[in-house]
């Protein structure tokens, strides 16, 4: 009985959380793009903005451009320097990734004459992708559902965006984080996931089916990053403050 009560409380919390509006200080997609191009206009010697792809789109959703911003001395030139990628928001509700990357961009530009920022700009090519799921970001920022996780792929091809406020049960959408080619076949096993489209962890119809993951792949193939950092945030707090390293990582490194 106690277990049933706890589960009921959790479902109630998730549903009510979906109805909450985010603080207006969080960036919308339009605000992200406006700031990126403003940086490029003001600091063209160290800033370059590049469209790296578009979302897949749907009958109810036009494809949305996905942008990356490069910070480096001689930003418009592809120099023989180590390249790093910082990817912000992947899952729709994980808006902290947007804020972290936008803050890093701002700090590096503002502190460009101060070490270590000046050294980074001289010796590295730093690429930032504040969001590669702008469809999901719109769902969250427009207050449809602040717990939404996926993008807006029209899985059932009915021409309507079918979603259910709260965690899970969304007929449409793909989890971008499980749409990559590596181990795609196992992408929905975690947490008892299935191949059903309503699952929060639905991996998509095939690897790299989504415009967001295609954009990240294209940028990675072009730049050959030596490291990348991807930010996630837990809507429940159960998986917060964890760092996952590559499989060959060793403690002494």
pLDDT of residue 156 exceeding 50: yes
Question: 21-41 as b/e, with b when 16 or more CB fall inside 10 Å?
Answer: eeeeebbbbeebbebbeebbe
Output the pLDDT for position 111: 98
Instruction: Tell me which residue range forms the domain holding 108.
Output: 26-230
Output the pLDDT for position 16: 46
pLDDT of residue 3 exceeding 90: no
Question: pTM of the predicted model, to two decimals?
Answer: 0.87
Q: Is residue 241 part of a domain?
A: no
Contact (CB, 8 A) for 94 and 231: yes
Helix (H) or strand (E) holding 214: helix 211-223
Q: How many helices (H) and strands (E) does the chain have?
A: 6, 5
User: Percent of the chain at pLDDT above 70?
Assistant: 84
Question: pLDDT tens for residues 55-113?
Answer: 998 999 999 999 999 999 999 999 999 999 999 999 999 999 999 999 999 999 999 99
Output the pLDDT for position 215: 98
Domain CATH for 63: 3.40.630.10
Output the pLDDT for position 98: 98
The total of structural domains in the chain comes to 1
For the segment 1-17, the average pLDDT, to the nearest whole number, is: 44
Output the pLDDT for position 188: 66
Q: Is residue 187 part of a domain?
A: yes
Q: Is residue 213 part of a domain?
A: yes
Output the pLDDT for position 12: 45
Alpha-carbon distance 48 to 69, whole Å? 6
Q: Is residue 250 part of a domain?
A: no
On the question of a cis peptide bond just before residue 116, with omega within 30 degrees of 0, the verdict is yes
């Amino acid at each position: 009985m106690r277990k049933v009560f706890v589960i009921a409380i959790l479902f109630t919390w998730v549903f009510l959380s979906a109805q909450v509006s985010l603080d207006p200080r969080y960036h919308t997609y339009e605000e992200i793009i406006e700031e990126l191009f403003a940086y490029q206009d003001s600091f063209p010697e160290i800033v370059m903005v590049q469209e790296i792809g578009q979302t897949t789109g749907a009958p109810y959703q036009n494809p949305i451009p996905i942008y990356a911003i490069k910070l480096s001395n001689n930003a418009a030139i592809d120099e023989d320097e180590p390249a790093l990628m910082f990817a912000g928001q992947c899952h729709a509700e994980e808006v902290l990734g947007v804020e972290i990357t936008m803050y890093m961009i701002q700090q590096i530009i503002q502190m460009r004459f101060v070490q270590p920022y000046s050294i980074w700009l001289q010796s590295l090519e730093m690429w930032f992708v504040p969001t590669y799921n702008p469809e999901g970001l719109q769902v969250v920022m427009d207050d449809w559902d602040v717990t939404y996780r996926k993008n807006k792929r029209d899985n059932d091809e009915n021409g309507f965006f079918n979603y259910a406020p709260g965690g899970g049960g969304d007929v449409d959408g793909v989890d971008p984080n499980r749409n990559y080619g590596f181990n795609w076949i196992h992408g929905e096993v975690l947490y008892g996931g299935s191949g059903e489209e309503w699952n929060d962890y639905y991996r998509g119809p095939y690897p790299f089916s989504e415009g967001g993951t295609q954009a990240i792949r294209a940028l990675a193939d072009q730049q050959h990053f030596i490291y990348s950092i991807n930010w996630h945030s837990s809507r429940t707090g159960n998986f917060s403050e964890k760092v996952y390293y590559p499989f060959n990582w060793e403690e002494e490194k």
